[in-house]
Amino acid sequence: MALSELEMGPTVLDDAAVTAVSGLRPRAILLILLYSAALILPLVLAASHSQVPKSQFIKQIALGFGLVGLMIIATSFILAARYNWLTRPFGLDAVMLFHRRMALMGFCAIIIHLVLLSYLHIGLFTRLWLPWHLQLGRIAILLLTAQIVVSVYRAGLHLEFEKWRLTHRLLGFAVLIVAFGHGLLSSGAFAPWPSRMVVLAVVAAAFASIAWSQMFRPHRLKKYRYRVDAVNEISNGLWQVKLKPADRGESVRYSPGQFAFFHFHRSGADSPGEEHVWTIASSPSEPDGLMLAIKELGDFTRTIGNSKPGDEVTVHGAFGRFSHLFHSHADDLVFIAAGIGITPFRSMMRWMTDRCENRRVLLLYANKSTRDIAFGEELAAYQDRSSGNVRVVHVLSRPDENWKGEKGRINIELIRKYCSGDLSGKSFWICGPGAFTTMMIQALRDAGVRAEKIHNEAFCLLHAPVQPDGRGRRLKALCAAISVAAVLMVVLFAILRTGVFSANGVPHRFGHISEKASLTIAEFHIQKN
């Protein structure tokens, strides 16, 4: 399940919509530049402000890190808002993983800000009561620390997802307000009006994103209501849920392999239900609404059989770049699935069969036993109708004694066997549990497959690791590049503000320890630039 939202509209994709995705790279580059500018531009504008004594070099670095941290906090709300224009070029999973990694970077920037100022003004740690602008800074750091800890250790804290999401949102909102108040009242970097206007614009965009996510989008999504048409158990603990558009409701437009957010409104339920993300298992070439394949894995999914025909379902999507239509030059495809990870491949294979696409597809599908195989008859039919272009290989780890197919687990030897020993020229698509995906990607990388030829789906947007596939490597490189650029800009900001390399001499070795230790909180309050 990944993210890149297509426009809402008729269910069936036309060729123009499929072709349009090829123009997304310039938009992606523009969005990366805009994000980088949001972090760095306030420092660039603030650096043009009047200079301060060279002895304040460390203080200016501290202010720079504080300003960058505030910008990362503010932009995180924009990243998490599921905007179509933002998620479409990258995929929602990539955007959310970027959001998570940059949030940690922002936390580090705030901690550096605190440590450097505490080095200069020891009273920040030793005094209980401080001026209000400093108290706000303390509160912001405590709230941000709590938010990071709860997010990283949610599973260990046994915190239910809905409770975690509510806590995460409330803490994030509080952090934004308190951190912005602290910066506005105490940071000399806010002094130049151009810098202040950029900060205000980014923070305003963050508040607008909160309003959009919590108030306006739920109202807009009422147009995309479906009704449960049928609920059937198709294999061991796997349920097929068919949805049809509600009366006068609009259909979701999607590419094969994409996913969406679904909110079931069950009749007679004690609560309004929860929002869950699932791959759309049906193909856009199927005219009868949407079809989901839901495995009993959690508290809600174990009750999916309680859904009744007529129950309303709100759909938000579709999202994702895990679709062969986004890779038009890939003609030799190797699909590697485990368990419920078959759903995007079922969608893509049905589309290719209905559209008579001339692509070669090898599907390696891992399960425990024949009872766990989903869409077994359909997959066999796709193979029979493909004129030799599609081959389906089932791999069972716990087969019965009558099983004559592959046994054990999918590994690089099995992949080589069915690829005739040649992995070059093929693109590999992996979908399954996290450990399975990580193992498959690493095995392919060790076998010499280029990262750009490996595609995977992030089933869990919250805790999914950054995988070493093509997008994962680019995501890591992007986070590193933006972080390094921000650090360099902070140092440059401090150099320009203090003029340490001017003809007047070298800086005062960042202040003697005796001098910094003797500074009082009152003096710190006065020495704001």
Using one digit for the tens of pLDDT, what is the confidence trace for 207-236? 999 999 988 988 888 888 899 999 998 887
Mean pLDDT value across residues 297-322: 87
d(CA 165, CA 276): 12
| pLDDT bucket at 11, cuts 50 / 70 / 90 | very low
Is-contact 372 344, C-beta < 8 A? no
Residue 24 confidence class, pLDDT cut points 50, 70, 90: low
Q: What is the DSSP letter of 51?
A: P
Whether 12 has a pLDDT exceeding 50, the answer reads no
Q: Give the pLDDT mean for 159-177.
A: 88
pLDDT at res. 6: 31
pLDDT range class, residue 407, cuts 50, 70, 90: very high
Identify the three-state secondary structure at position 91. coil
Q: What would the mean pLDDT of 325-337 be, rounded to a whole number?
A: 88
- pLDDT of 268: 53
User: What band does 112 get if pLDDT is binned at 50, 70 and 90?
Assistant: very high
DSSP 502: S
Residue 314 identity: T
pLDDT, mean over the chain: 83
Task: Kindly report the pTM of this predicted structure.
Answer: 0.82
Scanning 153-234, the segments in alpha helix (DSSP H) are 161-186, 193-211, 217-220
Phi-psi region of 430 (alpha: psi -120 to 50; beta: other; left: phi over 0): beta
User: Residue 118 burial by CB count (10 A; 0-12/13-18/19+): exposed, middle or buried?
Assistant: middle
pLDDT of 89:
87
- Grade residue 520 by pLDDT with cuts at 50, 70 and 90: very low
- 74 to 34, 199, 318, 366, 487: CA distances (angstroms): 14, 9, 26, 43, 18
DSSP letter (8 states) at residue 325: G
Q: Which residue has the higher pLDDT, 457 or 4?
A: 457
Q: 442: how many CB neighbours lie within 10 A of its CB?
A: 13
Name the DSSP letter for residue 303. Answer: G
Beta-bridge partner residues of 242: 230, 291
Pair of tokens at residue 235: 């294999």
DSSP β-ladder status, 225-235 and 238-245: antiparallel
Q: What confidence tier does 465 reach under pLDDT thresholds 50, 70, 90?
A: low
Average of per-residue pLDDT across 458-481:
75
> Tokens 């440590």 map to which residue?
115
- Is 60 exceeded by the pLDDT of residue 454? yes
Q: Which CATH superfamily is domain 222-319 in?
A: Translation factors (2.40.30.10)
pLDDT tens profile 36-93: 999 999 999 888 777 888 888 999 999 999 999 999 999 999 999 999 899 888 888 8
92 or 17, higher pLDDT? 92
Q: Apex CA 344: angle with CA 342 and CA 349, to 5°?
A: 90
* Contacts (Cβ under 8 Å, ≥6 apart) of 170: none
Give the helix ranges, DSSP H, for 187-321.
193-211, 217-220
Please give the pLDDT value at position 464. 61
Supply the pLDDT for residue 458. Answer: 66
51 exposed, middle or buried (CB, 10 Å; 0-12, 13-18, 19+)?
middle
Per-residue pLDDT, 344:
95
Cross-strand pairs, 333 = 361, 427
pLDDT at position 191 over 50: yes
Longest dimension (CA), the chain: 88
User: 329-456 adopts what CATH topology?
Assistant: Rossmann fold (3.40.50)
Contact of 502 with 112, CB cutoff 8 Å = no
pLDDT digits (tens, 9 = 90+) for 236-272: 788 999 999 887 767 888 999 999 999 988 765 544 5
Contact 362, 419 (CB under 8 A): yes
H helices of 289-392, in order, are 343-354, 376-384
Q: What distance in Å separates the CA atoms of residue 28 and residue 119, rounded to the nearest whole number?
A: 40
Q: Which ranges constitute the DSSP H helices of 335-459?
A: 343-354, 376-384, 412-418, 434-446
